Structure 1
């Protein structure tokens, strides 16, 4: 019978070394996390712009209804690219941790 060792000292229970990440996976995760933050910001900004009246700078009408969501999404993308609310950082850390667990 083998000697009893604490779990940390037992080589049979040691976790296998983490596989190195493929090149570019961190950049891809950062891009996906930033896109996710932009989408979340767009969902938060959309109701704010719905409260604005029609007309004004855009002249109102069907064209404004069509273009306003695109403008809101662009605002969200620019905010996320400029650092956003920090959602992208948290999402990227979680994505990388999940990749390491899977490997």
Structure 2
């Protein structure tokens, strides 16, 4: 069963936008896999960037409460930020990865 996030990321409008604006044309299985891999790579990249951005926050019982579990909660929140941004179109890295993966599969690299 798909989560609501996965369902929204595979909506027709989202798939059309990610397939270069082709409407009415479903993604091939290779395109869908490349799209998913690009999106996953972008989420990992954003997660890494956000972890360094949030690293100094909450160390004094401020934002995260300063308890022993604050690091875990911060990491989970940062991961969700990264996943949400990547699913929403991201910053363009996922699309570049998708294009490169498809080019490699076609032997055009």
Does structure 1 residue 28 correspond to structure 2 residue 33?
A: yes
Provide the residue aligned with 1:51 in structure 2. Answer: 56
Q: CA deviation at 1:84?
A: 1.1
Q: Structure 2 stretches of 5 or more lacking a match?
A: 1-27
* Residue 80 (structure 2) aligned to one of 60, 70, 74: 74
Whole-Å separation in 2 of the counterparts to 1:75 and 1:37:
12
SS in 2 for 1:61: coil
Runs of 4+ in 1 over 2 A off after TM superposition: 53-58
Deviations 1:32-77 (A, max 9, x none): 1001001001111111111213323532222111221121111011
* Root mean square deviation, CA, Å: 1.6
Provide the residue aligned with 1:88 in structure 2. Answer: 94
Tell me the TM-score normalised to structure 1 length: 0.70
Whole-Å separation in 1 of the counterparts to 2:75 and 2:94:
22
Higher relative contact order (CA 8 A, sep 6+): 1
Tell me the TM-score normalised to structure 2 length: 0.66
Considering only CA atoms, is the larger Rg found in Structure 1 or Structure 2? 1
SS in 2 for 1:75: helix
